Homo-oligomer: A and B are copies of this chain.
Amino acid sequence: MAGQHARKRYHHGDLRSALIQAGTQLLKKQGVVGLSLRAAAKRSGVSHTAPYRHFHNKEALLAAIAAVGFDELTAAMQEVTTKHPRDPSKQLIEAGVAYVLLAVRNPERAQLMFGGSIDFEAADEALRQSSRRAFDGLVQIVEHGLQAGIYREGDVRKLALSAWAIVHGLATLIIADRLKEAASSEEQVVQLTRYICQIHQSGLLRHKK
């Protein structure tokens, strides 16, 4: 009879986590539009003003949900790096694949992370760090390539930015459903991402003219 998501104690216990979880579920099921503070509160069995004890406003909840995504992304990058040690070329390609896969597997959350609904300048320090760590993972991979002498000379961060831009663009285009025919199955997405990343990496390489 009791609400399935409600807790019975007056003090919830861990409302903050419950709201993040409820928000993530709402996001997955109803999209960014269906993610409201009031709905997350209801789902957590709490009044619609309770969230304000834990989040300054709606954007703070969105930021917390996005931060989880950036942490997962950072973890995925590190996994790729350790999985292919001493092969910076493969690291870069597979980091790209990981980036795009994370997006297509949770497009609603990716839209939150990448879609511009969150003002990163004004955001929580926690979110800023989470998102920066993800980019730093990419910078390190490019750094490996530079140290191995396979890439052209240049500012590491700018070279890494070019890699970031191409996977970010691809991920964004896919989740915006702009590439329906070219990237419908996950397998197609992986193949396409590898192809695109290889073109890019070939631009990064030292070449004899």
Contact = CB atoms under 8 A, between A and B. Distances in A.
A52 interface: no
A117 B170 CA distance: 17
| Interface of chain A: mostly helix, strand, loop or mixed | helix
Contacts of A161: 170, 173, 179, 182, 192, 196
A196 to B, nearest CB: 5
Interface stretch (A8-16, A21-29, A41-49, A199-207): A199-207
Size bracket, chain A contacts: 35 or more
Contacts of A85: none
Interface of A: 32, 111, 114-117, 119-121, 131, 157-159, 161-162, 164-170, 172-173, 175-180, 182, 192, 195-196, 198-204, 207-209
